[in-house]
Structure 1
Amino acid sequence: MAELIVMPTSAFIDEKMSIHVYGLQKSRSVTIRAFVDERGRNFEAYAHFHSDVNGTVQLDSHPSLCGSYRGVMPMGLFSHMQPSPGQKAGVRLVKKNVTTPLVFDLTVYEGFLSTEEFYSRTSAHKILAKTTVERWYMAKDVERIEIKSGNIRGTLFKPKGDGPFPGIIDMFGTAGGIMEFRAALFSSYGFACLSLPFFGYEDLTKNPVEVDMVYFEEAVDWLVNNPLVMDSGIGIIGVSAGAQTVLKLATICGSKIKACVCINGSPFYTPDEPSRLYKGKVQPTLNVSTERVFVEEDGVFNITRYWPNKPEDIDHSTMMNLEDSSCQFLFIAGEEDKTWSSKLFSTLACKYLQKHGKSNWKILSYPGAGHLIEPPYAPLCHKCYVAISDVVVLYGGHPDGHAIAQEDSWRNTLAFFRKHLGGSEPIRSVPSHDRLGMITIPSKL
């Protein structure tokens, strides 16, 4: 009888799970598959293994011989997921309702199977064992509070207790709407975190071009003055257009901002982004070339050469006045980011700060990482549908390097905010749900 044991069966999204299969014959060929259906968005991964002399497979020590990944990767079945066949181009695995977990089905099959064989109607696949596991963003004691105050909209995630807590504002980019998963996870680590949308949400504008930086400035004032938040200053984090926004925000909010994390963003003003507009005044922006944008054979827009990618091609007068900020900067760059010249932009930002006598910066640059560097074990989003443009855009990256980048950058981001914002790390616990647990299917091995 084969047994599939996963420990723990319910965990936070950034925590590792131990996946073991017992009760096999030695040197048995098996396929382990992970599958998730999140609001009709289906993702999956699989790996091939040979059981050892004891009839076991342990993902933390046994290498995958083929499949979605190769080698020893304890969390490879999660970090190397790809959209299932039949999904729309550019689909992204995003948890919208963070009060519930992502639920993954794990199944052990006899023999080596491929994705095509999983969906074949002509061949039967012998299931040896299966189980279901939960992956959470939001801790048991975190409170989710919808915010509508003045002009700002969003969601505040508050840890257990009266506080005050270290505060963070969390922003994303041109996906629009609201993304709450990272804010919920920050709050699970003891931060009061405001997930801040800026277009395409409730009564906010539908066009990011119209957004003035005063909106974000108002959000900073709101969080800084919130009695739940420590009065020593807050942190800000953003990715893509959100990263560009937090860099500009750091220059206009003075001592209110203590720490700023820029994930694949630009320190230069660029067309059509909120950072270029402050109190009605528009800053000059980088020269870009729409002529260098091309469509690949599968219809995906490649904008790699839209931006200047050499220092000599950049108009350095469009650099933000980062020297006006007294906060600490952490730049996170994916070296295979195909939407921004992220490594170059981050390097030039730090050289600019250094030129102005500043040492308040650090760069984490990751080979193989693409555009959306998220909390650990999320799958690489190699290409993504951008609704505001109604096109699928190449985001870049390779699964192995991207997985490493997400683990390392998340660990460093938490340490960075803890160092500069203070607070104490709580003991986290996932919500108490009925565990679906292990299901063992008898076999005649």
Structure 2
Amino acid sequence: MDVGPVPDRRAYLRAVGSLGLASLAGCAADGPDPAVTLPSSALTDGPVRIVVENLDPGAPVTLRASARARDGEEWASHAAFEPNADGVVAVPARAPLDGTYDRADAMGPFWSMRPTDAPADRPLSPGTRFTPPQGAYDVTLAVERDGETVAEAMTTRLLSDPDVESRPIGDGLVGRFFAPPGDDPVPGVVHLHGAGGRAHLATGRLLASRGIATLTLRYFGDPGPIPNTLAEVPVEYVERAVSRLLEYDRVAGPAVGLFGFSRGGSLALLAASRSDAVGAVVGWVPSGLVWEGLGYGRGPAGTSAWSADGDPVPYLELAEVDPGPPPAPALPYYEPALNDATEAELDAAAIAVEDAGAPVYLVSAADDRRWPSTAFCDRVMSRLDAADYAHEYRHDGHPGAGHYLRLPYLPTPGISRDRYNVYGGTPAANARASASAWSETLAFLRTALV
């Protein structure tokens, strides 16, 4: 059989992903050819089921996944499996014999990819991180037996629904508004970035892809309507963003959510404690204590990170330390200051989370090297316990994970540190934490913002 020329191999692999290479080549065989199947495309936060069939029972095969980052660098993973008695490898149900991940994990081939030119027995250099191309990226799955490729397929990982609407906010607010496809009113969320100083646009697009209108707000780092540094950022600015979000026709009221990462998580808790228009609060690796802000060069600012009613919010000072040459953890700024603070100082700097009047969901990382997020979240839970808080509140701590939580299933090798910062965590723990935090956050927001 002659299938003729294949001008676009990528499109062809998507269309015939369930066929083996023998079929692609037109070769006849006594039985069905080995085949790898998976969806041709899915949103990046959607787990997929990979199944390899028509293998020789007991004859090990290697599954290789590969993709190209935005800069053109190739990343890849591998996992060896022994087919079952039916000649099948169902990736979600099988732990690899060997490979870049070590337990049964449907998305292990995706998150465990690392640069192909990086030695497997050495840590990745600081700053190595998988940045996907804009919009989507392709992942090729190849099955090898005795060094030869016997089946191949491709899937496209969509970073967002292409029909998501995007527009600038305006009205003196810096950021973008993302709305899901369609016309019906949907829940709304204001997303607050961390100390990096830039709005998390990819998070906003993906939230909108999952049916949640999102205003990704930038609250410092852009001279003009907002402070240039993380110092005395007015909490009223967030309150204005909440009011602005409720003005959109697509946003169902009467309340919206606040979802913050790191320093933005603290800002979300602070704003929620002052506003009746907040119906849900999510904090990823936040602090329930107000800390000293960060100035130029990201050193201590000498004043609070936040202000309210024109005055600095009471805060804890960062410790006077030399963190060492970069990349360096920031924990030395926080742990000594936390341990040395008096009860009066802790009480003054504590955010009155019990005044939020909305469900609260917190996520922390046990190996957080930026600040002790698990201890911070435990303090928030204790405060809510003591107040007999009337709304749902929950804290999910993730063992072995670091500060840098990101969108699910993107490759995590390399995100434990960059050129300047140490974030902590292992690739596997960071992958599990990111996937769990995202899934639970979506479920929490959909339930709370009804």
**What TM-score range do you get, normalising by the shorter chain?**
0.7 to 0.9
- The one-letter amino acid of 1:137's match is L
In the alignment, structure 1 residue 395 sits paired with structure 2 residue 423: yes
User: Offset of 1:32 from its aligned partner?
Assistant: 2.0
- The one-letter amino acid of 1:303's match is A
Name the CA distance, whole Å, in 2 between partners of 1:107 and 1:230: 45
- The one-letter amino acid of 2:140's match is D
1:174–1:108 CA distance, 2 compared to 1 (3 A) = farther
User: Offset of 1:187 from its aligned partner?
Assistant: 1.6
Pick one of 128, 137, 154 that aligns with 1:132. Answer: 154
User: Offset of 1:205 from its aligned partner?
Assistant: 5.5
Question: Which residue of 2 is the match for residue 6 of structure 1?
Answer: 37
1:81–1:244 CA distance, 2 compared to 1 (3 A) = farther
Which structure 2 segments of 5+ residues have no match? 1-21, 23-32, 119-123, 295-303
Question: Which residue of 2 is the match for residue 330 of structure 1?
Answer: 361
Question: Which residue of 2 is the match for residue 195 of structure 1?
Answer: 216
User: Offset of 1:62 from its aligned partner?
Assistant: 2.6
Which structure 1 segments of 5+ residues have no match? 112-124, 386-390, 423-445
Name the CA distance, whole Å, in 2 between partners of 1:238 and 1:196: 10
Question: Which residue of 1 is the match for residue 186 of structure 2?
Answer: 165
Question: Which residue of 2 is the match for residue 46 of structure 1?
Answer: 78
Name the CA distance, whole Å, in 1 between partners of 2:35 and 2:193: 37
User: What per-residue deviation string (whole Å, max 9, x for no partner) do you get for residues 158-196 of structure 1?
Assistant: 123333221111122133333222222222222111122
Pick one of 93, 97, 108 that aligns with 1:65. Answer: 97
Question: Which residue of 2 is the match for residue 313 of structure 1?
Answer: 340
Kept in 2, the 8 Å contact 1:89–1:384? The answer is: yes
Name the CA distance, whole Å, in 2 between partners of 1:94 and 1:256: 35
Name the CA distance, whole Å, in 2 between partners of 1:372 and 1:246: 18
> TM (normalized to structure 2)?
0.79
1:175–1:85 CA distance, 2 compared to 1 (3 A) = farther
Question: Which residue of 2 is the match for residue 142 of structure 1?
Answer: 164
Question: Which residue of 1 is the match for residue 8 of structure 2?
Answer: none
Pick one of 220, 224, 230 that aligns with 2:252. Answer: 230
Name the CA distance, whole Å, in 2 between partners of 1:349 and 1:373: 20
Question: Which residue of 2 is the match for residue 372 of structure 1?
Answer: 404
Name the CA distance, whole Å, in 2 between partners of 1:44 and 1:279: 52
Matches within 5 A, 1:379-418: 379-380=411-412, 382-385=415-418, 391-418=419-446
In the alignment, structure 1 residue 239 sits paired with structure 2 residue 261: yes
Bigger RCO (CA 8 Å, 6+ sep): 1
User: What per-residue deviation string (whole Å, max 9, x for no partner) do you get for residues 242-277 of structure 1?
Assistant: 21221121123x211110001101111112258422
Kept in 1, the 8 Å contact 2:161–2:209? The answer is: yes
Aligned-partner SS, 2:362: strand
Pick one of 198, 202, 219 that aligns with 1:177. Answer: 198
User: Offset of 1:209 from its aligned partner?
Assistant: 3.2
User: Offset of 1:5 from its aligned partner?
Assistant: 2.3
Q: Percent identity?
A: 25
Pick one of 278, 284, 288 that aligns with 1:267. Answer: 288
Aligned-partner SS, 1:18: coil
Instruction: Give the structure with higher Rg (CA).
Output: 2
Question: Which residue of 2 is the match for residue 91 of structure 1?
Answer: 128
> TM (normalized to structure 1)?
0.80
- The one-letter amino acid of 2:333's match is Y
196-205 or 370-379, which moves further after superposition?
196-205
Kept in 2, the 8 Å contact 1:95–1:181? The answer is: no
In the alignment, structure 1 residue 283 sits paired with structure 2 residue 313: yes
